[in-house]
Structure 1
Amino acid sequence: MITTYVNSDEMTMIKSDKFQYNNWVNLIQPSREEMEEVAEYFNIPIEFIEDPLDPEESARIEYDEDTNSTLIISDFPIVDKNIRQTESYITVPIGIILSKGYIITICSHEHDMFNKLINRKFDLRMKSRFLLEVLLTVSTKYNNTLKKINRERVKIESNLRHSLTSKQLYELMEIEKSLVYFLTSLTANGDTIKKIFRSRSIKLYDEDKELLEDLMIENTQAMNTTELYTRILESITGSYSSLISNEMNNIMKVLTLFTVFLTLPTLVFSFFGMNVHLPNLTWIGTIGVAFVMMFLTFLFLLQRNIFK
């Protein structure tokens, strides 16, 4: 799908039905024909449009001298729709292509990151500012998503204090997986932001540099928060794994004690039931011998603190 935006006289963004100078072209899940149309019209490498559609593509910045265009790829978080049991997140790439006279954004998933940008006044001629605004929106989305993840973690942890189920552990596992995606993508995004600061193909003005510094701070904050939540989650899962192991050991100890006490009467009755010469005992005496052996075994185990 292709959506084209241009500036109105009031510098608001309005949709346009054709390509023109200083416009913004937003591609969401484009078809092959749409990709070829945009690449041919704006004279950009077709790879610049194809690469951001690859879910495995890593964040980076690339410049093409022949067409004087720059591709910036950054990862942003979305809900993993393949996981229905709980809310899990993955990261997907978004591409921003800048050149004289146009801005192109490409993504393989529908998203709402541009809503605030569309609904405010913005000069599309300020291409470097547009790039930084998009990347700042990405970093902000990470921080907002991390807050949601932490609230969910606290909720699960509270439920774990009352009852321990495999469903809750599965939810913690999904949160941990989401944080791994975040940390990997945020690290790559941070490297890309640093390269933008040193890049000669992207002209930054003084106001842009201030925005870039805010972007670096926001991305670093997201990275630090992700690392903190990851360590907390590892501690929680490790503690509950030890708790599960301890409960299993207690269950096995109880079952073993039951086995021992049930085996002793069986041993006594089997012994006196053999067809050999033994002292004559009534059935009450046989039961008495069994109880004596059970009592002596109980005292022995009690001295060794087995019942604690």
Structure 2
Amino acid sequence: MMITYYNFQNNQLNNSLEDLAKWIAVNNPTSHEVEKLGKYYDIPLDMFVTQYFPENMTEIEHFNSETLGNCAFLVLINYKTSKPHSIEKGLYPITFIYNKEKMISITDKRDVSITPSIKKDLSEAVQPSQLIVGCILNMYQIYTVEINRLKRAIDEISERARSTTKREVLTDLADVERDMVFLEQTLVDQKATIEKLLASELFQSMATEERHVREIKRKIKKTDKLISLNRDLIDTTGGLISDMLDSKLNGIMEYLDSAQLVIAIPTLIFSLWGINTGGLIGKDTPLGSLSVVIFAILLGWTTYLYLKKKEY
């Protein structure tokens, strides 16, 4: 585990001693270290979330600590974009435990920096709420980039679907749709938690600029719209692929039906001339069989040309 202590002086984020720290950043703690941290700050152990699972939820809860006093516990889901991977593998939790005077953040090893974008506006009177707001703004900026990446992937699949119906197009679309499900469900859950955060009495009692709160709401609204747009694009692309497969199958069936009709006419002629009855033309001449074959071929070819002209 790595613990870094920060305070704010001269409008900057600076390293600090433990007793003077306003922000305690905990990175990649083990279960034993989590237990020590919980006992030291009197924090219930079930509030530490360091690993992401699909069933994990964002949440906010208030509690009292003998060491920290009246506190709030907040879990949000961030996203890591440093290397190509599925959405599921890029999601990870960030836990904030805070009050008006101090904030503890717990992240896993994949979070190389949660220093908020708001640090440009830091002052010595900064409160944990400003740090959380900055982290949320940075988080939604990352989500917006990832949603736009998915849109480009959907557009590329849509272009390929117009010219081919190979299996790879279907599997790629299924992968994108799976990513969209994880991203959509995470953001829906997180939106509800952030709304509770912004409405909580503790958060509202802290010094947070209204413009930053409005920016959070704007970014949430933007991601909601992008998610809805991408969901519709996935459905449209899936419908396009399905229609093209149906069209291709119909074309094959039409071809087989036409071929069956062309072959059926010579077959009928051969069958008629093969009936064991008298009076058939050419039955007494060695050229009779050849004449029947030529006649059947000409009639089949005529049928083919007729069907082709009718675009069957």
Q: Which residue of 2 aligns with 1:111?
A: 111
Matches of residues 107-256 of structure 1 in structure 2 within 5 Å?
107-108=107-108, 110-112=110-112, 114=114, 117=117, 122=122, 126-205=127-206, 207-256=208-257
Larger CA deviation: 54-63 vs 245-254: 54-63
Distance 1:116 1:130, change over 3 A: closer
The sequence identity of aligned pairs, in percent, is 20
CA deviation profile, 1:206-253 (whole Å, cap 9, x unmatched): 643331121011111111111012112211221221012111210222
8 A contact 1:60–1:192 mirrored in 2? yes
Q: Which residue of 2 aligns with 1:7?
A: 7
The structural deviation recorded for 1:283 is 2.1
Q: Which residue of 1 aligns with 2:46?
A: 47
Larger CA deviation: 274-283 vs 118-127: 118-127
- Equivalents in 1 of 2:210, 2:39: separation in Å? 33
Pair 1:286 & 2:292 matched: yes
- Equivalents in 2 of 1:57, 1:115: separation in Å? 24
- Equivalents in 2 of 1:214, 1:168: separation in Å? 38
Whichever residue aligns with residue 30 of structure 2, its letter is S
The SS at the match of 1:279 is: coil
Larger CA deviation: 6-15 vs 217-226: 6-15
8 A contact 2:76–2:190 mirrored in 1? yes
The structural deviation recorded for 1:51 is 7.5
Distance 1:100 1:34, change over 3 A: farther
Q: Which residue of 2 aligns with 1:74?
A: 76
8 A contact 2:197–2:203 mirrored in 1? yes
8 A contact 1:264–1:290 mirrored in 2? yes
Q: Which residue of 1 aligns with 2:263?
A: 262
- Equivalents in 1 of 2:8, 2:198: separation in Å? 31
The structural deviation recorded for 1:131 is 1.1
Whichever residue aligns with residue 5 of structure 2, its letter is Y
The structural deviation recorded for 1:36 is 0.8
- Equivalents in 2 of 1:212, 1:119: separation in Å? 16
Q: Which residue of 1 aligns with 2:55?
A: 56
- Equivalents in 1 of 2:306, 2:82: separation in Å? 57
- Equivalents in 2 of 1:52, 1:99: separation in Å? 24
Distance 1:296 1:96, change over 3 A: same
Paired positions, count: 301
8 A contact 1:128–1:204 mirrored in 2? no
Whichever residue aligns with residue 2 of structure 2, its letter is I
The SS at the match of 1:201 is: helix
- Equivalents in 2 of 1:271, 1:106: separation in Å? 88
The structural deviation recorded for 1:197 is 2.4
Structure-2-length-normalised TM-score: 0.80
CA deviation profile, 1:20-71 (whole Å, cap 9, x unmatched): 3434333444211111121112211111113775542212211113552211
Whichever residue aligns with residue 232 of structure 1, its letter is L
The structural deviation recorded for 1:199 is 0.7
Structure-1-length-normalised TM-score: 0.81
CA deviation profile, 1:66-98 (whole Å, cap 9, x unmatched): 5522111222334698xxxx8532344322111
- Unaligned runs of 5+ residues in structure 1 are none
Higher Rg of the two aligned structures: 2
8 A contact 1:23–1:102 mirrored in 2? yes
- Equivalents in 1 of 2:165, 2:22: separation in Å? 55
8 A contact 1:53–1:107 mirrored in 2? no
Distance 1:266 1:35, change over 3 A: same
Q: Which residue of 1 aligns with 2:21?
A: 22
8 A contact 2:94–2:105 mirrored in 1? yes
